[in-house]
Chain A
Amino acid sequence: MHVTSPVREPLVLGNKSYHDVTQDIACRVEEKPTKLWFIAFGVSLVMLALGSASLFQTWRLGIGVWGLNKTVGWAWDITNFVWWVGIGHAGTLISAVLMLFRQKWRTGINRAAEAMTIFAVLCAGSFILMHMGRTWLAHWALPLPNTYGSLWVNFNSPLVWDVFAISTYLLVSLLFWYLGMVPDLATIRDRAVNPISKACYGFFSLGWTGSAKHWQRYEQVSLILAGLSTPLVLSVHTIVSMDFATSVIPGWHTTIFPPYFVAGAIFSGFAMVLTLMLVTRKVYKLEEYITMTHIESMNKIIILTGSIVGIAYITEFFIAWYSGVEYESYCFINRATGPYAWAYWAMMTCNVISPQLFWFKKIRTNLVATFVLSIIVNIGMWFERFVIIVSSLHRDYLPSSWAMFYPTMYDVGDYIFTFGLFFTLFFLFAKYLPVVNMAEVKAVLKSSTDKPNHNH
């Protein structure tokens, strides 16, 4: 029944029994919050509070408080949106695509990666709401009957597609995450001693018992959800890229955008998963569940997607010249040599050169190097969006309209708000929900522990 090639590295170390798995993961939910957790959570709350103050002013005074001008009419707001959505691509990719490919190493990291996905998409969504300016009229983006006739939303517009894509992605990811968590919540419910936690975990575990009939249906539903989420995750960033690609701005109007954005999204998503998981793994002592094999596999995906992104950059440049379109060529030469050249070369270094270091086994199996590179990749991916957006806009057709973009404190403050939101949610998740999918780890335990023939 359990056939695994012997050359595979084990996925769970330490000769664990099923009960050990439950104990190691559930104890984090059951223990009292540690001092370290309070400090980390406190810092996130401070960021959230500072960001909220900035956000309140943005709402009160309007988005004129940002550093936008008549030439650069879209800058940090959309850069941050695309950056967060990109980060929000790893979770569903890990749980859905890797499930379809039967990659068992996803079991140790999928829960936290999916949580990260949901929180990142919420941050992205908050930028959409923010940059509408009049956030209280956000429902105008939905096809609702109104007093203008009804004047409907324009379904030819990629911005409307985006509304549907992001909300569907958020809702389906949430569902997938929750469904996968129901059995684990039941485990915690059955261990709980405190009546409040018993009631809470009992409520959300939906009366799960792990009966054979339920597991049979659960498996089928998970598989279909994985099948649905796979094209969904690819569609989301494709549609985000169309926000730019369907316009006629030089530098945006390129057919390479959809695959290039999807690769970039997976690239940055995996980098963020690594950043978070390396810390969580250390603090929660999960070294036996998130092993070097997991980290190495993620680093390999980073090499792959990073190389796709690198090829996309070069192709884009080549096509700009090859097309013979003067404006397109100028846009790209200006990116590499103009006033935003520093951002362009920061992007090239962080995204194209640095992930190539992972070709060396010594580097991709080194925790410190992986951690540093994962942060560098995320910085690079922020610059990618900044370069695409601001450098394409800042030199308009008329030289009299040329301008630069300088962020104000509200640009920074609103960005800090999303960091506060992200980390507040992540720390709540890490404390109150099981960070590793216990049921799935138990399911691969026998076929992939370090001692193949031991008894449980």
Chain B
Amino acid sequence: MSATSGKFLVGIFDDEDVLLHSIPDIRNSGIKILEVFSPFPLHGLDEALGYERSKLDVAAFFFGLTGTLTALTMISYMMFFDWPMMIGGKSNFPLPDFIPVTFELTVLFCAYGMTITFFIISNLLPGVKPILFDKRCTDHKFVMAIDLSKNKMSEEEITSILKENGASEVNQKEF
């Protein structure tokens, strides 16, 4: 969400089903929705808003792969190249013994890499000031923000369309 200054219209919905059903109609009427805020994840909301699937799973795969390769490189360097140890005449490169640590590092790299990427791309960082269009969106209301500068329609028109589609309140917000 890049736009953080300007004039916004904020539609408040009391029920998630009303909100979900209203989104296609609101978008079809030509209104550009900036973002929708909800106290819990709503399934189908991202499709309704036309968001593409997040590619975090691809990132996760590569972070995991990094972990696997780091572990295998580290262990083979230590156990085979740098200081080969003779233990009971067994192989210096016992691959099955490397599985536990390789697995753990794969999981560790994948989990942290993916979550930190998520935090960074979403600008979710310690001390970040939240851009709240309505405080109740983390409690019990479903909030739709509309950037007036990005929409050609007048405030009154948008307000009436939102109200028609089930918004219980429509407020103005300026940042």
Contact = CB atoms under 8 A, between A and B. Distances in A.
B83 to A, nearest CB: 6
B111 A204 contact: no
Interface string A164-183: 11001001100110010011
Nearest to A214: B122
B107 A215 contact: no
Nearest to A152: B78
B40 A209 contact: no
Contacts of A242: 100
Interface in B53-109: 54, 56-57, 60, 74-75, 78-79, 82-83, 85, 87, 94, 97-98, 100-101, 103-105, 107-108
A155 to B, nearest CB: 5
A228 B98 contact: no
Interface stretch (B24-32, B133-141, B153-161): B133-141
B95 to A, nearest CB: 11
Most buried by B among A18, A228, A440: A18
A211 interface: yes
B172 interface: no
Contact of A207 (B38, B107, B130, B136): B130
Interface of A: 1, 17-19, 22, 143, 149-156, 158, 160-161, 164-165, 168, 171-172, 175-176, 179, 182-183, 186-187, 189-191, 202-221, 224-225, 228-229, 231-232, 235, 239, 242, 438-440, 442-443, 446, 455-456
B84 to A, nearest CB: 11
Given A154-B85, A203-B126, A190 B132 contact: yes
Contacts of A154: 79, 85, 87
A235 B130 CA distance: 39
A235 B107 CA distance: 11
Nearest to B127: A203
Contact of B40 (A153, A165, A182, A183): A183
Contacts of B123: 207
A213 B138 contact: no
Given A17-B140, A214-B122, A172 B107 contact: yes
Interface of B: 1, 14-17, 20, 35-46, 49, 51, 54, 56-57, 60, 74-75, 78-79, 82-83, 85, 87, 94, 97-98, 100-101, 103-105, 107-108, 110-112, 114-115, 118-119, 121-132, 135-140
B149 to A, nearest CB: 19
Most buried by A among B41, B56, B110, B137: B41
Given A164-B101, A211-B1, 7 more contacts: A175-B112, A190-B135, A206-B125, A207-B127, A208-B130, A217-B122, A228-B111
A208 B51 CA distance: 19
A172 B100 contact: no
A179 B100 contact: no
Contacts of B51: 212-213, 216
Nearest to B141: A18
B101 A206 contact: no
A22 B118 CA distance: 26
Contacts of A439: 39-41
